[in-house]
Structure 1
Amino acid sequence: MYSLPSLLQILSFLILASFSVAAPLLKKDLASYDPNSAFQSALNATWSTFWNYQYNSFSANDPTCQGAEFTSPVVWDIAVAGRALTDSGDQAKINAAVQNLLQYRRTDGWFSASTAKDGDVYVDDNSQVLWVFVDAFKVTGNQDYLDVAQRLMVLIRSQWNSQSGGVQWKLDGDYIASISTSEAALAAVRLYEVSPDPDLVYFAQDCLNWLYSNLQDPADYLFYDGLTASTGVVNKGKLTYTVGTALSTLAYLNKFTGSNSFIVSAVALGYAAAGGKGAFYGSNGYWNNQLQYVHLLFAGIADLVNIGVAANSQQSAAFGNFASEAKRNGAYIYTYLQLGNSGNYLSSVTSGPQSMFSKYATAFQGTGSYSPDSTYFCGGNVSGAVSRSFMDDSSAAQVFYEITRL
């Protein structure tokens, strides 16, 4: 059974959070934009730039870069693009993305990181793949997609570590990650929505209970990255995607059980991540995680607002605060991380083209210095053309879709 943090802990944290929401934020000129149009633009840019009809697959490389050859992305990247496509409802492209994912599926049902279909298998990747198949089933009604998701859920549950608890990050590995545990929980409740099985809800609760008991930082209420089962050593890094998937799972558990205790936990966690300050905020006053991680925080907030049921005015106010903060950060992404008006995006405003940084530096003086990174440029030439990013474009599309839900 899911055990909540102590009431005193939550109340103490919420008192502190109430002040952080009202913390002064730097005034910046954010673009006024339509998130629906931004979603379609980012999605179209992702497809038109990276889909390769010859290989019936996305490519990891920007084809406009001189000498760039087709290269299969890792499965995580395709899962992110696949989720954005299922959000669009375009059945032809959804089916194409699903068939692309199946190029990574082993005979036992696991999806490898690469098309080699080898032992390089990660449970968090597979959880995200499951989300795509569940959503593809919801849009298309194709039973084969549901069958793949159900088989994958059996495999994911097999990675619960019998000694330390938690869900292993790599297949049969020793590292128990917060992201593999929270994403496995979300996979369970998202599958439950289309294929009800009480054990899925129990499994999700077990995952969250373990996460709160073993990887929560009592100082700021966020989650550490993970721990090594054999030694108990904790990696104290923190990323937004763990919070995002936990928020989504809490919202679904509230829906399926009717218990407000999940909303109490979600509100406290939401203030920790999106309260105006804390580990996820940079010196410019905005979320500092890369797009490949932060889009799941947007999704978690959107799920909480749309699926969770607030039981009182304080919880309703919290939902509104989180939605406003997601919209504010979405406007920042649209304004400063977009390459012109192309619908293409890059995660780092300080490491890409000089023009992107110059626009940022004008608005955010003293909060960053320009340091071009060769990985953002064709052929690694920082004086040359920009190399667009498949993952960043896909993540941006998800960000703007989630904002349409707010």
Structure 2
Amino acid sequence: MKKNLLVLAFLVGLLTCCKSEDAPIKPVKPTDPGSINKEYMSRAETTFANIFKYYWSDKVRMMFGSYPNTLGTPQEPSSPDYNSHAYLWGLGSVVSAFNAIVQNTDNVDFRMTYESRLKETLLKYYNTTKEPMCFGCFVNPHDQRLYDDAIWVGIDLADLYSKTKDSWYLDYAKSVWNFVLSGKDDELGGGVYWDENAKDSKNTCSNAPAVVLALKLYQITNDAAYLENGKDIYKWTKSKLQDPSDYLYWDCIKTSGKIETSKFSYNSGQMLQAAVLLYNATGEEQYLTDAKL
């Protein structure tokens, strides 16, 4: 059975988020929630270790996109082949899994085991061929860059800085934000595009997490510019892409004005998180109301 890197990395995050009232993986006394939490963390770390065992290549210092890999070994890093190595979308989920574990454990050995390799492979995706520099979908020299893919990475980098105080994470999170701002203009009254090259739609998946990243950077730096931009993008997304009948969010609006009405849970989920972060930052009740709706 082919196993997808994105799905396995998501599982790691799920394990770290499980609470004591959830069904335990193996029988544990309900009076000992600490034991349950330790069990989930152990499972998460084991899953993460297996991701590296089966997806990481020491040869090119990168991760495969799937297992088993039909090519046997990765091609040169310049080839954007899914069977060769992970797109940024898949690699970003590994960064999310790493972040989830780091946030929930003080196990320094875990961090030291994987951190340098994740930094190394992320830099292979860091496109320096055009300004502002940021992570691309593939490794250099391919220059396709999607705003949402980079933002997901940026959010985890901001979180990792908050936990570790390693300035490397903050520097690259800020570079993602600069890239986001380059995709924001007055077309359709504001908002961030989805695809840097095409620029034919503005999507919830590129705007909602942009607000989350802005607010996380505001929490770290106390720079009001992050807050104001976050509020502006949130307002635009709500006005253009929220379905007033159920308060969920449509997928995107084309530059022609046509709305793609598909609804995905992560879009509404990111706007919910954005609303909570804005409420925490401003105390304005409307954001809390939005989150509840």
Fold match, TM over 0.5? yes
User: What is the alpha-carbon distance in structure 1 between the residues aligned to residue 125 and residue 49 of structure 2?
Assistant: 24
Per-residue deviation, 1:32: 3.9
Residue of structure 2 in register with 1:216 after alignment: 242
Per-residue deviation, 1:31: 5.8
User: What is the alpha-carbon distance in structure 1 between the residues aligned to residue 71 and residue 186 of structure 2?
Assistant: 49
Q: Secondary structure at the match of 2:253?
A: strand
Q: Which has the higher strand share?
A: 2
Return the letter of the residue paired with 2:60. Answer: Y
Residue of structure 1 in register with 2:185 after alignment: 161
Residue of structure 2 in register with 1:188 after alignment: 214
Residue of structure 2 in register with 1:199 after alignment: 225
Unpaired runs of 5+ residues, structure 1, are 1-29, 269-406
User: What is the alpha-carbon distance in structure 1 between the residues aligned to residue 263 and residue 273 of structure 2?
Assistant: 18
Are 1:121 and 1:170, in contact at CA under 8 Å, matched by a contact in 2? Answer: yes
Q: How many residues of Structure 1 are paired with residues of Structure 2 in the alignment?
A: 237
Are 2:127 and 2:140, in contact at CA under 8 Å, matched by a contact in 1? Answer: no
Are 1:82 and 1:94, in contact at CA under 8 Å, matched by a contact in 2? Answer: no
Are 1:123 and 1:156, in contact at CA under 8 Å, matched by a contact in 2? Answer: yes
Per-residue deviation, 1:55: 2.2
Are 2:127 and 2:139, in contact at CA under 8 Å, matched by a contact in 1? Answer: no
Cα gap change, 1:119/1:54 in structure 2, threshold over 3 Å: closer, same or farther? closer
Provide TM-score, normalisation by structure 1.
0.55
Cα gap change, 1:117/1:180 in structure 2, threshold over 3 Å: closer, same or farther? farther
Residue of structure 2 in register with 1:257 after alignment: 282
Query: Is 1:119 matched up with 2:143?
Result: yes
User: What is the alpha-carbon distance in structure 1 between the residues aligned to residue 155 and residue 116 of structure 2?
Assistant: 14
Q: Secondary structure at the match of 2:137?
A: coil
Residue of structure 1 in register with 2:162 after alignment: 138
Moved over 6 A (4+): none
Residue of structure 2 in register with 1:79 after alignment: 92
User: What is the alpha-carbon distance in structure 2 between the residues aligned to residue 86 and residue 202 of structure 1?
Assistant: 27
Cα gap change, 1:67/1:101 in structure 2, threshold over 3 Å: closer, same or farther? closer
Query: Is 1:174 matched up with 2:195?
Result: no
Q: Secondary structure at the match of 1:237?
A: strand
Residue of structure 1 in register with 2:6 after alignment: none
Return the letter of the residue paired with 1:59. Answer: F
Higher Rg of the two aligned structures: 1
User: What is the alpha-carbon distance in structure 2 between the residues aligned to residue 50 and residue 204 of structure 1?
Assistant: 36
For the aligned residue pairs, the C-alpha RMSD in angstroms reads 2.1
Are 1:112 and 1:120, in contact at CA under 8 Å, matched by a contact in 2? Answer: yes
User: What is the alpha-carbon distance in structure 1 between the residues aligned to residue 273 and residue 47 of structure 2?
Assistant: 23
Instruction: For CA contacts below 8 A with separation 6 or more, give which structure has more relative contact order.
Output: 1
Return the letter of the residue paired with 1:200. Answer: Y
Identity %: 22
Per-residue deviation, 1:176: 0.5
Cα gap change, 1:225/1:66 in structure 2, threshold over 3 Å: closer, same or farther? closer
Provide TM-score, normalisation by structure 2.
0.74
Query: Is 1:94 matched up with 2:115?
Result: yes
Per-residue deviation, 1:170: 0.7
Q: Secondary structure at the match of 1:236?
A: strand
Residue of structure 1 in register with 2:72 after alignment: 68
Query: Is 1:267 matched up with 2:279?
Result: no
User: What is the alpha-carbon distance in structure 2 between the residues aligned to residue 264 and residue 38 of structure 1?
Assistant: 37
Q: How does 1:6-405 map to 2 (within 5 A)?
A: 32-33=24-25, 34=36, 35-63=40-68, 68-70=72-74, 71-89=84-102, 90-92=110-112, 93-107=114-128, 108=131, 109-164=133-188, 165-171=190-196, 173-229=199-255, 231-268=256-293
Q: Secondary structure at the match of 2:127?
A: coil
Are 1:91 and 1:139, in contact at CA under 8 Å, matched by a contact in 2? Answer: no
